[in-house]
Amino acid sequence: MKTPSDPGFAFPDWAYKPESSPGSRQIQLWHFILELLRKEEYHEVIAWQGDYGEFVIKDPDEVARLWGARKCKPQMNYDKLSRALRYYYNKRILHKTKGKRFTYKFNFNKLVLVNYPFIDMGSGRGVPQSAPPVPSGGSHFRFPPSTPSDVLSSSEELRSPGAMYSAVSRRMARGSVSDCSDGTSTNSELEEAGAEERGGGGSGGPERAYRGLLPPRLPHDSLFRLYGPAGLARPTPRVHGDPLSPFPVSPLPGPGLLPPLSPAMSMTPTPHLPFTPSPSLASPLMGSHFSFNAEDMNHYLQAHTQSVYNYHLSPRAFLPYPNIIVPQPHRPALDKHALLHGLSHPLGQSLGQSLGQSLGAADEFKFKLQPPPLGRKHRETGSTSSASSSSAAASGPFSGSSLNMSAGPPKIKVEQISDMESDEEVEVTDISEEDEDMNHHDDDEEEDCGGIFTPLSRHRLLLHHGNGGVLRHHSSVRASTLPHANGAAEEDDDEDVFKTPATPPAGVMPFPALSLKAEPGSSAPVSPGGTRCIPLKLRFKRRWSEDQKTEADGREAERDGEAEDKKVRADGQERLEEEPRGGAQEELAPARGAVILGLSLPPPPPPTQRRASSELQRATAQLSLENPSC
Partner DNA sequence: TGCGGAAGGT
Partner DNA sequence: ACCTTCCGCA
Contacts with DNA, residue ranges (CB under 7 A) = 1, 12-14, 27-30, 67-68, 71, 73, 75-76, 79-87, 89, 91, 96, 98, 100-103, 148-149, 155
Instruction: Give whichever of 419 and 587 is closer to DNA, judged by the CB atom.
Output: 419
HSE-CB of 630 using CA atoms within 13 angstroms: 21
Query: Is the distance from CB of 365 to CB of 9 less than 8 angstroms?
Result: yes
What single-letter amino acid sits at 221? Answer: D
Give the residue among 484, 630, 58, 510 at the shortest CA–CA distance from 268: 510
Instruction: Give whichever of 33 and 412 is closer to DNA, judged by the CB atom.
Output: 33
Neighbouring residues of 27: CB distance < 8 A, sequence distance ≥ 6? 19, 20, 21, 70, 71, 178, 627
We find the least distance from the C-beta atom of residue 363 to DNA, in angstroms, to be 13
We find the least distance from the C-beta atom of residue 471 to DNA, in angstroms, to be 28
Determine the 3-state secondary structure of 586 from DSSP.
Answer: helix
Instruction: Give whichever of 380 and 553 is closer to DNA, judged by the CB atom.
Output: 380
Q: Which residues of 262-295 are buried (b: 16+ CB within 10 A; e: fewer)?
A: bbbbbbbbbbbbbbbbbbbbbbbbbbbbbbbbbe
Distance CA 298, CA 414 (A): 27
Instruction: Give whichever of 30 and 165 is closer to DNA, judged by the CB atom.
Output: 30
Give whole-number Cα distances, 552 to 27, 511, 544, 586, in Å: 43, 21, 12, 10
Instruction: Give whichever of 170 and 478 is closer to DNA, judged by the CB atom.
Output: 170
Instruction: Give whichever of 415 and 547 is closer to DNA, judged by the CB atom.
Output: 415
Bridge partners, residue 94, by sequence: 106
Instruction: Give whichever of 432 and 467 is closer to DNA, judged by the CB atom.
Output: 432
We find the least distance from the C-beta atom of residue 157 to DNA, in angstroms, to be 7
We find the least distance from the C-beta atom of residue 97 to DNA, in angstroms, to be 8
We find the least distance from the C-beta atom of residue 590 to DNA, in angstroms, to be 28
**Radius of gyration over alpha carbons of the chain, in Å?**
20
We find the least distance from the C-beta atom of residue 181 to DNA, in angstroms, to be 17
Query: Is the distance from CB of 29 to CB of 85 less than 8 angstroms?
Result: yes
We find the least distance from the C-beta atom of residue 561 to DNA, in angstroms, to be 21
Instruction: Give whichever of 17 and 125 is closer to DNA, judged by the CB atom.
Output: 17
Instruction: Give whichever of 146 and 457 is closer to DNA, judged by the CB atom.
Output: 146
Q: Which helix (H) or strand (E) holds 378?
A: helix 376-380
Bridge partners, residue 51, by sequence: none
We find the least distance from the C-beta atom of residue 149 to DNA, in angstroms, to be 6
Instruction: Give whichever of 266 and 624 is closer to DNA, judged by the CB atom.
Output: 624
HSE-CB of 430 using CA atoms within 13 angstroms: 54
Instruction: Give whichever of 69 and 412 is closer to DNA, judged by the CB atom.
Output: 69
Measured in degrees and rounded to the nearest 5, phi and psi for residue 54 equal -90, 135
What single-letter amino acid sits at 570? Answer: A
Q: Which helix (H) or strand (E) holds 308?
A: helix 306-309
We find the least distance from the C-beta atom of residue 391 to DNA, in angstroms, to be 25
We find the least distance from the C-beta atom of residue 3 to DNA, in angstroms, to be 11
Alpha helix stretches (DSSP H) within 503-627: 528-533, 536-557, 562-571, 573-581, 584-598, 610-619
Hey, how many other C-beta atoms are within 10 angstroms of the C-beta on 34? Answer: 33
We find the least distance from the C-beta atom of residue 565 to DNA, in angstroms, to be 15
Query: Is the distance from CB of 301 to CB of 609 less than 8 angstroms?
Result: yes
Give whole-number Cα distances, 126 to 129, 229, 330, 442, in Å: 8, 36, 42, 22
